[in-house]
Amino acid sequence: MTDSTSIPVHLSSSSVYPENAAYCFDLAQRLGYDGVEVMVWTDPVTQEAGALKALAELHELQIGAIHAPTLLLAQRLWGWDPWGKIERALDLAGEVGAQCVVVHPPFRWQRGYAEGFVEGVAERQARWGIPLAVENMFPWRSGARAMQAYLPGPDPRDFPYTSVTLDISHAATAGVDAVQLAEDLGDRVTHVHLGDSFGSFMDEHLVPGRGSQPCAEVLQHLVRSNFGGVVTLEVGTRKMRTDDREEALAESLAFAREHLGQHDRPGARSRV
């Protein structure tokens, strides 16, 4: 069994949207997070290694992952070539010392990109020496209708990726048990996105403990399975006021500390 205190708990910069990366680093330090996952976005700081390293040094935090701009709303960022985006993200990760790059599988309309995706991920991971952790996704649903939005597919168990980002909220939206997913993937789980859900067709990314997913059980599984990666809180706070956002992210960190057995680490709630 791994030492649970060795599993870092980071804050995704997407969790403070629409606030910027500088605010994310400041908040992560104030709340007691171990580091930050940087979502590459229109905020220029998220694209600049020097600025990110300066923030990390100022706040004494690690940068655990770079999330490549492969989201639907980021299709134009860093140009239209998807492999170009991934390679720039790998370069950025190397410069800031991130452990991995998080990437989504291609959209179904990116057929040329999708056809060589599995092989392309393996080749670039080997060339850069940085894990490209492909995230589990989900069908797009509207009522009783579902559309396969991702190629070659949304479930990383179906493909020979050596590195995977396990996202609990995405698993819920796909109707997949996150604990079973973690067990099936085994040591291919390189990175974890912690966020809750009620299993809605919307990708909810709730504060852990505020939904119905086995968030605690996934964290406990990580401890038992010698997980060597980072747990990142990826929750939606866009509609929250500043005080509510900061309390929600403090609550999220306390949840992670509790179920990783990190009762004496910064951000843990006192046990009465």
Provide the residue range defining the domain that includes 211: 4-259
Q: How many distinct structural domains can be found in the chain?
A: 1
Q: Is residue 219 in some structural domain?
A: yes
Q: Is residue 266 in some structural domain?
A: no
Q: Is residue 270 in some structural domain?
A: no
Q: Is residue 265 in some structural domain?
A: no
Q: Is residue 94 in some structural domain?
A: yes
SS (H, E, C) the chain: CCCHHHCCEEEEHHHHCCCCHHHHHHHHHHHCCCEEEEECCCCHHHHCHHHHHHHHHHHCCEEEEEECCCCHHHCCCCCCCHHHHHHHHHHHHHHHCCCEEEECCCECCCHHHHHCHHHHHHHHHHHHCCCEEEECCCCEEECCEEECCECCCCCHHHCCCCCEEEEHHHHHHHCCCHHHHHHHHHHHEEEEEECECCCCCCCCCECCCCCCCCHHHHHHHHHHCCCCCEEEECCCCCCCCHHHHHHHHHHHHHHHHHHCCCCCCCCCCCCC
What pLDDT was estimated at residue 4? 60
What gap in Å lies between CA 104 and CA 191, rounded to an integer?
13
In this structure, the chain runs to a length of 272
User: Strands 35-39 and 145-147: what pairing?
Assistant: unpaired
Q: Is residue 98 in some structural domain?
A: yes
Q: Would you give per-residue pLDDT tens digits along the chain (272 residues)?
A: 445 668 999 999 999 999 999 999 999 999 999 999 999 999 999 999 999 999 999 999 999 999 999 877 777 888 889 999 999 999 999 999 999 999 999 999 999 999 999 999 999 999 999 999 999 999 876 665 667 789 999 999 999 999 999 999 999 999 999 999 999 999 999 999 999 999 988 889 999 999 999 999 999 999 999 999 999 999 999 999 999 999 999 999 999 999 999 999 999 997 65
Question: Which residue's entry shows tokens 């600049």?
Answer: 48
What pLDDT was estimated at residue 1? 44
Q: Is residue 156 in some structural domain?
A: yes
The CATH number linked to 22 is 3.20.20.150
Q: Is the pTM of this model over 0.85?
A: yes
What gap in Å lies between CA 254 and CA 260, rounded to an integer?
10
What pLDDT was estimated at residue 144? 58
What pLDDT was estimated at residue 72? 72
What pLDDT was estimated at residue 3? 59
What pLDDT was estimated at residue 272? 53
Q: Is residue 268 in some structural domain?
A: no
